[in-house]
Structure 1
Amino acid sequence: MSYRIVFRAAALLMAVCAASTLHAATPSTATMQAAQAVQAGTLSIERHGTSGRPVILIPGLAVGPWVWKDTITDLEKNHVVYAVTLAGFNGTPAPSADGNWMDRADASLADFIQKNHIEKPILVGHSLGGTLALRFAGRHPDLTGGVVAVDGLPIFPGMERVSAEQRTAIAAQLKAKTEAATPAEFEAQQLAYMQKIGTLDPATATRVAPLNARSDQKAVARYMAEDAGADFRPELKAAKAPILEITAFAEQDAQMGPVKITQEQKVAYYSALLADAPNAKVIALAPSRHYVMLDQPAAFGKALNAFIEAH
Structure 2
Amino acid sequence: MRMRVRSLRFGLALAAASLFAAAAAEAAPERFRDLQVEVIGEGRPVVMIPGLNSAAGVWDETCAALQASRVQCHIVQLPGFAGLEPVATDAFLPAMRDRLLAYLRERRLQRPVVVGHSLGGFLALQMAIASPQAIERLVIVDSLPFMPAGINPQATVENSRPVAEQLRQTLLHGDRDSAQYRQMMSVFSRSPERVDTIVAWGRASDRETGAKAMYELMTTDLRAQLGAIRTPTLVLASWAGYAHYGVTEEMSRAMLRRQYAGLDGVRIELSRDGFHFLMWDDPQWLQAQVREFIAAADERDGGARAEGR
Task: Give the structure-2-normalised TM-score.
Answer: 0.82
Contact 1:41 1:105 (8 Å CA) reproduced: no
Residue 137 (structure 1) aligned with residue 128 (structure 2): yes
Residue 68 (structure 1) aligned with residue 59 (structure 2): yes
Residue 180 of structure 1 is aligned with which of 145, 168, 173? 173
Contact 2:129 2:228 (8 Å CA) reproduced: yes
Q: 1:34 to 1:283 in 2, by over 3 A?
A: farther
For 2:34, the aligned partner's letter is: T
The structural deviation recorded for 1:291 is: 0.7
Structure 2 residue runs without a partner (length 5+):
1-23, 298-309
2:264 equivalent in structure 1: 278
Pairing 1:32-51 to 2, within 5 Å after superposition = 33=25, 35-49=27-41, 51=42
Q: What's the C-alpha RMSD, in Å, of the aligned pairs?
A: 1.9
Helix, strand or coil at the partner of 1:173: helix
For 1:274, the aligned partner's letter is: Y
Residue 106 (structure 1) aligned with residue 97 (structure 2): yes
- C-alpha separation in 2, matches of 1:64 and 1:39: 15
1:204 equivalent in structure 2: 194
Contact 2:236 2:270 (8 Å CA) reproduced: yes
2:46 equivalent in structure 1: 55
The structural deviation recorded for 1:193 is: 2.6
CA shift digits 1:26-57 (9 cap, x unpaired): xxxxxx858322222332111111x2111000
- C-alpha separation in 1, matches of 2:26 and 2:252: 36
Pairing 1:129-278 to 2, within 5 Å after superposition = 129-156=120-147, 157-158=150-151, 160-185=153-178, 188-195=179-186, 197-250=187-240, 253-254=242-243, 260-278=246-264
Q: 1:115 to 1:302 in 2, by over 3 A?
A: same
Helix, strand or coil at the partner of 1:254: helix
Q: Give the helix-richer structure, 1 or 2.
A: 2
Residue 115 of structure 1 is aligned with which of 93, 98, 106? 106
Helix, strand or coil at the partner of 1:110: helix
Structure (1 or 2) with the larger CA radius of gyration:
2
CA shift digits 1:71-123 (9 cap, x unpaired): 11122341111001111012111111x32110010000111111111112111
Residue 291 (structure 1) aligned with residue 284 (structure 2): no
Helix, strand or coil at the partner of 1:213: helix
Contact 1:44 1:85 (8 Å CA) reproduced: yes
Contact 2:239 2:247 (8 Å CA) reproduced: no
For 1:158, the aligned partner's letter is: I
The structural deviation recorded for 1:249 is: 2.7
The structural deviation recorded for 1:234 is: 1.8
Number of aligned pairs?
271
- C-alpha separation in 1, matches of 2:274 and 2:50: 17
Q: 1:192 to 1:33 in 2, by over 3 A?
A: farther
Helix, strand or coil at the partner of 2:139: strand
**Which deviates more from structure 2 when the two are superposed, residues 68-77 or residues 277-286?**
68-77
The structural deviation recorded for 1:66 is: 1.2
Contact 1:91 1:216 (8 Å CA) reproduced: yes
Identity %: 27
For 1:253, the aligned partner's letter is: Y
- C-alpha separation in 2, matches of 1:89 and 1:272: 31
Contact 1:135 1:154 (8 Å CA) reproduced: no
